Structure 1
Amino acid sequence: MTTLATHRVRRTSDLPGYISHPDFSEPRATQTYAPQTLLTDCENYDTKYMPDEVTREHAKRMHFAAYRAHIARTVAERARWLTAYHKLRDRVVLGNRKLIYRAVRRRMEYQNRADDMIGECYIVLIQVVAAFNPWLNVRFSTYAYTCLVRALSRSSRRLATDWLSRSLSFESLPDGEPGGRVDAESSLSSGSLQLDEYLRDSHPLLSDREKAIIVRRFSLGDSTDGSTLEQVGEAVGLSKERVRQVQATAIGKLRMALGSDSDGI
């Protein structure tokens, strides 16, 4: 499989970007990458999963269609290739949408935002399809799922950060009894970069124990769900009440630090 000869061409104001391949300039390229070969097949990927090898072939033709749109000499020719590009892209998105639901199910602590998360993931999946290089030896399902999980982790981190950054009182926090989850429902916040800095291993504001408890308690890790006080205690080897005390101390430090760095927090 050829990989080294491909390169990415950036999108313009009215045309999508694409992965360029040397074969695109060959005389038989239009036959080799003809979109209609796939668009007219009898498979209905609106209702079934698209295998990786089929996704790869769709992606090759999608990038070729974008290439032809970029070099088109007439408005009609450009429109024809853009139509083919969008049909191929959307077919891949629909055929791989089960990856969205797999990724969302990982974020069980935010099931009250499931519909919003699914909507966000569709946007991410469209971007992933457009960026996927089918000439690399990478499975689309693996690549896309990783991108979706990372996007959801960033979104969840921003939500939790915003909640933690507000004027939380220690008394308002859940008591952490079994079945109780931290409710991180809030709008996105630009304060996440500040909190990230304080949670770095090298930052002296919090002790290692305080960082570990805050990360686990408020779902600030890439793969960690928000945990109750009891669950955090089991993970770090402390009693539930001791976790509550350490958490209170850490939140106090963070509130003071965030308050000195940002207006209105």
Structure 2
Amino acid sequence: MKGRPMRRIVTKKSNRAALASWMLPPPYIRNPELARPSTEKKLFADWDVSGAGKGRLDPSEETFHFKRLHFCAYHLSRLYRRAERSPRSKRIHRAYCMWTQRYHAIRERLIEANLGLVYDLIGRSRFGNLDRDEMSSEGMMALLRAVDTFDPWRGFRFSTYACNAILRAFSRAAMRDSKRRNLMSVSFEPSFEKSDSLDRRRDDDRNLYRERLRRILDANDAELTQVERLVLERRFPSDEERPRETLDDIGREMNVSKERVRQIQLSALAKLRKSLDADAVLQ
């Protein structure tokens, strides 16, 4: 399929009142594989409700999930057209709801696996005149558009496609900001020239790590034991008003040595660090 122009198929909205509350099928990229009878079984034989796990995806897994995404959109389009002819069919409505849930689960999986691209490009880009929040917003929107328009049959890696889209979004935002500055020029004021962007970036990174760490702890993605969670909570309490306990205090309460408490703490911290290193958002 390399070299062929991409063709996105958009389903026309129905005028039937019975379908007014239905989500319009998302666009999909036309490819002969979608129409083959064996494709559904090939792509969804091992489907589960989670949409296929967590963390980063390797290129082959990513291509597989994008094919799933376009098959969902293709199948929703077919169901939508069938529903126009039989708008009161409960069987079609149930199937439509099921494939809609699958579509959103796969799309969210792909977005989460590639959020790190946005943060990485923000850190490496040289658009110093742009606010970090604005870059985050532009980058996220570019990532969403890239997920919706990527053609998995052309042989390219999604990261290459998405990075180009995100950098173009940064460039367009920088051009708009430059034009705005030219139109709204002001007299020189030294106090306005001092930037706190570096401090804010550090704060943003710190808050992001805290949020991801809290999520890992809540879901116990690090697979901490009950004892490890207890030691961490005593050593690093989530309540800022609660004082930290010493290794000796915890050891006496648990009837173990101070050194044993230290070993449990180090083991728990190593598990958390491993989970943070594998977190797609922080890549």
TM-score range, shorter chain: 0.5 to 0.7
> If each structure's helix is expressed as a fraction of its own residues, which one has the higher value?
2
Q: Determine whether 1:8 maps to 2:8.
A: yes
Gaps of 5+ in 2: 14-23, 83-91, 198-283
The 5 Å alignment of 1:213-224 reads none
Aligned to 2:58: 51
CA–CA distance in structure 2, aligned partners of residues 125 and 35 of structure 1: 28
Equivalent residues of 1:99, 1:145 under 8 A apart: yes
CA–CA distance in structure 2, aligned partners of residues 120 and 5 of structure 1: 26
CA–CA distance in structure 1, aligned partners of residues 5 and 178 of structure 2: 43
When Rg is computed on C-alpha atoms for both structures, the one with the higher figure is 2
Describe the superposition over 1:128-177 as per-residue Cα deviations: whole angstroms up to 9, x where unpaired.
011000000211101100100000110111012101122444xx277xxx
Aligned to 1:18: 28
Aligned to 2:179: 161
Query: Percent of aligned pairs with the same residue?
Result: 27
Gaps of 5+ in 1: 184-265
The 5 Å alignment of 1:1-265 reads 4=4, 7-10=7-10, 12=12, 14-34=24-44, 37=47, 43-45=53-55, 49-72=56-79, 73=82, 74-105=92-123, 106-107=125-126, 109-110=128-129, 113-169=131-187, 172=188
Letter in 1 for 2:169: A
Letter in 2 for 1:68: H
CA RMSD in angstroms, aligned pairs only: 3.0
Shift of 1:42: 6.6
Letter in 2 for 1:88: I
- TM-score by length of structure 2 reads 0.54
Describe the superposition over 1:48-76 as per-residue Cα deviations: whole angstroms up to 9, x where unpaired.
x2222211110001000000000013222
- TM-score by length of structure 1 reads 0.57
Alignment: residue pair count: 173
